[in-house]
Structures are given as C-alpha cells and as structure tokens.
Amino acid sequence: MHGTTLRCRNGPEPGPADTAHLSESPDPLRDSRPSSRRHAVSSLANVWSTPTARGLGLVVLYVSWGSTYPVMKVALRTIPPFLLLTARCLLAALALLLIARLLGASWPGRRQWLGSLVVGGLVLGGGHGLTAWAMVQASGGLAALLVSVVSVWLAVLSWILLGRRPSRRTGLGLLTGLAGVAVLAGTASAGLGWAPLLALIVSPLAWALGSVVSSRVRLPAEPLMATAAQLLVLVPVFALLAVAAGEPARITAASLSGTSLTALIYLALVGYVIGFAAYTWLIRELALATVGTYAYANPLVAVGLGVLLLGEPLTGSMLLGGLVILGGVALVVWDRAPLAPATVLTVPVPVVDVPPPPRVRDVAVASEA
C-alpha cells in the first residue's frame, strides 16, 4: 500500500520560469550551488538515459513498491501500525530532505507546508494509514489488489468533482474494476472482519481524492522536496494516532524483533526513497503507458512474494477478482496514455485527466503500501 512530482500535461517539462512562483522565499543554497555540481548531475543523467538503465529502473519500481506489502506484514508482527508509519515517514522524510537540499531544492514556504498537510493527510493518512491498520489482519496480496483500484477511483472522482466525463473505454474500466472489488470483497468477508475490509476499500478512495486535491493546492516545486514535506508533516499525525490507540504501551524493546526493524528500514528507504526516486526519473525517460504499468505490476509482485515468502493463501476467487481489477485498471491507464499522469505521493498512481492549477500542469505522487 506504497504518494508529488511536476509534469507537463502537454509540452516540455516546466522550466524555472514555470515553477519559480511556487517558491515563497529565496534559497541561498540553490543560488550558491557550484556549476560543477550541476554539470555532474547532468552528466550522470545522460549516462543513465539508456535502454538498459530504463529497463532496470522499471524493475526497481515494480519490486520496490510491490514488495512493500509483504514486507509490511513482516514489520507489523512486532510493530503496531501507527508507530510503524511514524517511524517510516520520519526516516524517509529525513533522507529525502537531505537529498533534495543537496540537489538545491528550495525549502517549502508556509502555504506549501499547508498544502503538503492536506494532500499528505489524504494520501498518507487515509491511504497508507488505513492500509497499514487493515493489514494487521488482511494479507498483503489482498491489500495490494484492493488498493490497485485507485486508478478507477481517480476516474470516478474526476467525473463527479471536476466534470470530466470518462470515455467509453474508461467507463468500461470503471465498471470492470468495481466488479473486481465486489468479487474480492465477497471472498474476503468470510475470513476478514468488516472494519479491515472497509478500510481497504476506503483507502484507495482517499488516495484518489488526495491526487485530485493536489492539483488545487500549493506544493513544493521540486518532486523530492514535495514528497519529503508530505511525509514529514504526517509524522506528528501518525504519532498522535499511535498514542490514541494505546500503541506505545503495547511495545517494549524486548518485544521488537530484528526482522521487523529490518522491514521498517526497508519500507522507509526502499519503498519510499528508492521507489519514489525511480518513479520520478522514469516519468521523464519513458512514455506514460510504460511507466503506468506499475499500477498492475505492483499487485502481481505483492501477491507473488506473499505466496512464495509468507505462505499467504491464493484462492480461485481471489485470483479471479484480482485479474478483473487489473483488467479495469489497464483500461483506465491505457485510455489516458496520451496524457501525463497527475499522481500523488508517495504512494504514484495514474491520475485521470485532472485539470492543472495555473502554471503548474501536473502534480504527481507515488502509490504503494
């Protein structure tokens, strides 16, 4: 289950003139960055722009995001969900902040922090928070399949809230995806409580809503800084939820396993930092239709790893429902392939034709557990 990049909907990537208005204060670090550093970054980018590098980048994206579901199950064995998210967001935010500042990213202004709280609250709080809480009982494979329907919810919300009527192909994808959710929900209801199941259904809806809202609020212009800001502002929110749920009283140093702590570090550094860095790079190197394959590759990776490594069940009904969902997602993604995605952190999902705010044509976030 696991989010904020800038992309042009039609035309070249936004330049300094397009994004300068988002910076609310001068940045001495950016102004003083040596030209040699810029040259080094540019040279490295040229080296990476090869077919082999792009192919490896897709593999990294699939594995880093798809593996977060079974890895989260391992982390949840001895770490309660909201404490897990608190630590995960803090570690990832600090790493991304450091990288973003070293690359000359501007420090967010007050309005950008507020926008990050709104979008992060929906994507991370509603999306990742509900998913992690539900996965205390639900399998990682089931969670990944239900969350993959986020692209379908994006099309629905764009139609309801923005008046963007879907095409026939997208409409077919919506009905197909929702039918798959109904099949999975019927299968899971027998062995899973209604609360975790409802959380897994609402989670992608909150994720999609955050993606739509992201095009209407002010966020940091630089992708890594925007993601770091959303992660950082959610740290105290998850910490308060952990306290309210009584999680600190249920955990001690002796109760923590080394395996769960290793899983936590993996979730923060691989799921958030490496996965989002790969996504940010790939959307500048490959066609949207190619990068968008993560929307249905991730759940396949999650289900496969869950079955092979954790012994999670894979019933015929679950397989059928998952295939139906992925078919609906494919229809929605491919129908919007000519357009750049407006995705939302952490957590990148193909966004369905969300009209851009002035001068910023596309805001993206990542999607994984």
pLDDT of residue 68: 94
User: Within the chain, which residues score under 70 in pLDDT?
Assistant: 1-48, 187-190, 288-289, 335-368
Yes or no: say if 9 and 362 are a contact pair by the CB < 8 Å rule. Answer: yes
Q: Which amino acid is at 326?
A: L
Size of the chain, expressed as the number of residues it contains: 369
Q: What per-residue confidence (pLDDT) applies to 67?
A: 94
pLDDT of residue 284: 78
Task: Annotate the chain with three-state secondary structure.
Answer: CCCCEECCCCCCCCCHHHHHHHCCCCCHHHHHCCHHHHHHHHHHHHHHCCHHHHHHHHHHHHHHHHCHHHHHHHHCCCCCHHHHHHHHHHHHHHHHHHHHHHCCCCCCCHHHHHHHHHHHHHHHHHHHHHHHHHCCCCCHHHHHHHHCCHHHHHHHHHHHHHCCCCCHHHHHHHHHHHHHHHHHHHHHCCCCCHHHHHHHHHHHHHHHHHHHHHCCCCCCCCHHHHHHHHHHHHHHHHHHHHHHCCCHHHCCCCCCCHHHHHHHHHHHHHHHHHHHHHHHHHHHHCCHHHHCCHHHHHHHHHHHHHHHHHCCCCCHHHHHHHHHHHHHHHHHHHHCCCCCCCCECCCCCCCCCCCCCCCCCCEEECCCC
pLDDT, position 84:
96
Q: Check residue 161 and give its pLDDT.
A: 84
Residue 40's Cβ-count burial label (10 Å; 0-12, 13-18, 19+) is exposed
At residue 368, the pLDDT reads 65
Q: What is the predicted pLDDT for the residue at 98?
A: 94
pTM of the full structure? 0.75
Residue 329 sits at the vertex; the CA angle it makes with 326 and 330, to the nearest 5 degrees, is 85
- Residue 39 burial (10 A CB sphere; 0-12, 13-18, 19+): exposed
Q: What is the pLDDT of residue 71?
A: 96
Q: Quick one: pLDDT at residue 324?
A: 87
pLDDT number for residue 47: 54
